Amino acid sequence: MLKIKPYEESSFSFYEEVVKTKRNTISKPNFKEELKAVSHTQSSCFDVYDDSFSSNSLTSIEVSLYDENNKENLKALYSYRNKKIQELKNLLTIHPLYKDRILNICQNCTINEADTMDHILGQTQFPEFSVHPKNLFPCCSVCNKKKSDKYVNEKGSQLFLNLFLDDLPQSQYLHVEFGNNWLPIFRLEQPDNVPDPIFQLIERHYEKLDLLNRFSNSSNGIISSLKATIKVFGNFNIENKIEEYCLELEPVLGYNHREIVLKRALSSSLDFINECVR
């Protein structure tokens, strides 16, 4: 997982640009006029979101009172195929450190292609933010479905990492053990230097998105690739070579990426190495 760079231009100007792309329809002949009527309210809502975003306190935003017609109008602004939304996605999927790299993998899971945009504050309760550029996060359809519209639990605690805002630990918290046929079994373990609130948020994120099981189920390609590498290069100094490779990968993929955790664990296993070179 990587923390990605959020949209930096005017949020409300982005909203206005999306509105410009919309047209009245037979079923909604007054669509544009109705949107114009809530423009001032929308501007105020966007100011609230931007202030809360700056202080990483989105959980404090209260539900606004819109009538059903205005809710549907605001929700109708969002379309994944909309030109402005695609431009936003392209901007957000630039690697935060390497500007020539496209980061088109969902950072909520690091498994699948980012083929949707997740609404951090869901459209059901917060239709006013359906096209707020800091409320849209490149995401895979699996994570998007699992997350649904939820952002906080019944106690008001944040359920998911906000990878625009939340700093990820550089200490290892993702670990792996192996069952039969090198089946990986992932687990989380709190490092001494990671505060309880941050680790508990990580735990909720992993639990709600079922990441530990999904990591196990998507690891075969990584393990097969490592086996082939060891078979070609043999076991001479292989652990140090893999460690050098992992150190290079950390800023590219993230410090607790499953590929790094897997390769470090397997390259330190003499049984695994001997099996590869036989």
- Distance from C-alpha of 29 to C-alpha of 238, rounded to nearest angstrom: 67
Return the structure tokens found at 39. Answer: 């423009």
Q: Give tens-digit pLDDT for 107-154.
A: 999 999 999 999 999 999 999 999 999 999 999 999 999 987 888 888
Domain encompassing residue 184: 174-277
Last residue of a domain, one of 97, 129, 147: 147
Q: Which residue has 């043999």 as its token pair?
A: 234
Task: Kindly state the average pLDDT of the residues 235-250.
Answer: 85
Does 137 share its domain with 68? yes
Task: Decide if 236 is inside a domain.
Answer: yes
Does 182 share its domain with 223? yes
Q: Can you give the pLDDT at residue 111?
A: 96
Q: Give tens-digit pLDDT for 75-91.
A: 999 999 999 999 999 99
Question: Which amino acid type is present at position 248?
Answer: E
Of 80, 146, 135, 140, whose CA–CA distance to 105 is shortest?
140
Task: Kindly state the average pLDDT of the residues 231-235.
Answer: 76
- Distance from C-alpha of 170 to C-alpha of 191, rounded to nearest angstrom: 10
Directed axis angle between helix 238-253 and helix 220-233, to 10°? 140
Q: Can you give the pLDDT at residue 164?
A: 96
Give the other-Cβ count within 10 Å of 212's Cβ. Answer: 18
Of 96, 109, 93, whose CA–CA distance to 141 is shortest?
109
- Distance from C-alpha of 136 to C-alpha of 183, rounded to nearest angstrom: 35
**Number of folded domains in the chain?**
2
- Using pLDDT thresholds of 50, 70 and 90, give the confidence band for residue 188: very high
Q: Give tens-digit pLDDT for 6-64.
A: 999 999 999 999 999 999 988 889 999 999 999 999 999 999 999 999 999 999 998 88
Does 36 share its domain with 102? yes
Does 65 share its domain with 117? yes
Is the pLDDT score of 278 beyond 80? Answer: no
Q: Give tens-digit pLDDT for 150-181.
A: 888 888 889 999 999 999 999 999 999 999 98
Q: Can you give the pLDDT at residue 75?
A: 94
Query: What is the rounded end-to-end Cα distance, in angstroms, of the chain?
Result: 35
Task: Decide if 167 is inside a domain.
Answer: no
Q: Can you give the pLDDT at residue 215?
A: 97
Return the structure tokens found at 273. Answer: 């190495």
Does 116 share its domain with 17? yes
pTM across the whole model? 0.91
* 3-state SS assignment for residue 119: strand
Does 179 share its domain with 115? no
- Using pLDDT thresholds of 50, 70 and 90, give the confidence band for residue 254: very high
Task: Decide if 273 is inside a domain.
Answer: yes
Task: Kindly state the average pLDDT of the residues 241-246.
Answer: 88
Task: Decide if 271 is inside a domain.
Answer: yes
Give the other-Cβ count within 10 Å of 235's Cβ. Answer: 15
Q: Can you give the pLDDT at residue 100?
A: 85
